Amino acid sequence: MHHKIRFDQPLPEDLAARLRALTVSARLRTTPDRPRLTVENPFTGADLGWVPTANEEDVDAAFERARAAQRSWARTSFKQRRAILLRFHDLVLSNRGLLMDIAQLETGKNRTSALDEVLDIAINARHYALSAGRLLSPQRRWGAVPFLTKTYTYHRPKGVVGQISPWNYPLTLGVSDAIAAIMAGNAVVAKPDSTTPFCLLACLDLLERAGLPEDVLQVVTGSGRVVGTAIAQRCDYLMFTGSTATGKTLGEICGRRLIGYSAELGGKNPMIVARDANIEKSLDSAVLGCLANSGQLCVSIERIYVEDAVYEEFTEAFTRRVAATRLGAGFGWDVQMGSLASQKQLDTVRSYVEDARSLGATVLTGGRERPDLGPYFYEPTVLADVPEGARLRREEVFGPVIYIERVSSLDEAIELCNDTAYGLNSSVFAAPATGWATAPRIEAGSVNINDGFSAGWASYDSPIGGVKESGMAHRHGDEGITKYTDAQTIAQQRFMTLQGPRRLPRRAYAAVMSGLLRFGKITRTMR
């Protein structure tokens, strides 16, 4: 689809009909008399549609259905699960236009950012479909003594995984984590953000069209306080993406219940520009690293430390490139940055900029709302001379606001990068040797060399997550699916017990066992 949004006209009928169908789908999973939760289009401020506001009874019902479905789903073979996810992969790509339309209408993001989400879903579906058998099939392990013990590790699904996902990437964060949990043999009860439910509902429809049995994935719409808390209190494992404050609250619930918990939380992600960076070649990646999805991205860059030797050159070029960013609403591919997601986000971004400006920060570009483009547009903003007391120096803005600071050396830049409670993502623009020497010294879950965030995030075979107050556990990589399982060791003792025959004197037993351990060392070393 290539609809053109106009503020003075309703949605095209085919797209409006699709949203109405998703509303019906959501209603079927709750009691019919539930209050309505209205979904807004940030491009225009108009209503997109509505979904039910579920309560604890609806969550109980969802878990009851999910547990019943999970028992049979866990018995399906990896081959059957793989076939379903690969069909889903194909359906996502063939329906990419619809999925991008819905993502843009719910979030206000530009077309390219919406495409990123669609591709991410497809990549994750393919990756876990093709790797789950290798990662989760029974695996032969070493026993204490060669040949005496035959040991295997089995991976048992957790049961019903709870998922609470945010509004900024409702496809990626609403579906990709659920895919891994489902491939591992779990059922999932998922709560999308109240402002972006249609993305997850659309993907649920595609999963069921691909052959996923009914009720393996349950979507429950409603408030975080009611539905989110209820999910955390009932699930066998919780996957949460959102703020650090909420993550701590949910972590307390999981801790009291002694269930596993994975969380990607807030960040104040830094970028270093070294003296040997190629400034001209770095600009596109640097700007994208800051402004993708209007800066409403957990891993986007919000602070840049530039070595003195290239500070003027980089700051002038970067500011000029940011100022030239094309803003707009709608589905056009030429738009480089879309809207903020809501009035709340607009108020938040504006307050951070005004606070810094009032304390003496210099606005190099931006710093203005753009109501001529839509109700929640805000210009991409670059600040310098930001004083220590400004809130945005340490707090996550989650918008298109970046500050630049001059540093005398890489050591100073690294120290400033690490001087934070967060540790989610980071970036180093430098000659390759400098980048690889610098990156391991930064306290962050991912470090991108000559890229803002895409390189690390798109490396789906490698784990990604936060350290410090930016989260715990990982998505992607092997852990992205094994975390949804319990490891079970099954060991068979053969020939004789590890304590040896009863008639064997203990002194002789000690000598025999020591010899066997030496033999085991040689055997392991030769592998």
Residues serving a catalytic function are: 264, 298
- DSSP code string of 77-138: -HHHHHHHHHHHHHHHHHTHHHHHHHHHHHH---HHHHHHHHHHHHHHHHHHHHHHHHHHS-
Tokens of 405: 């600071």
Tokens of 472: 């715990």
> Do 125 and 89 meet the contact criterion of CB atoms below 8 Å apart?
yes
Q: 427 forms bridges with which residues in the sheet?
A: 271, 448
The H or E element spanning position 188 is strand 187-191
Closest CA to 161 of 69, 34, 28, 54: 69
Residue 306, classed as helix, strand or coil, is strand
Closest CA to 325 of 297, 352, 290, 280: 290
Torsion 117-121-127-132 (CA) sign = positive
**Cα–chain center distance at 383:** 28
d(CA 243, CA 471): 9
35: DSSP letter: P
d(CA 50, CA 39): 5
> Do 259 and 236 meet the contact criterion of CB atoms below 8 Å apart?
yes
Q: What are phi and psi of 443, to 5 degrees?
A: -85, 85
Closest CA to 184 of 253, 244, 128: 128
- DSSP code string of 369-420: B-TTT-TT-B--EEEES--TT-GGGTS---SSEEEEEEESSHHHHHHHHHSS
The CA–CA distances, whole Å, from 460 to 141, 192, 319, 398, 467 equal: 26, 23, 32, 24, 18
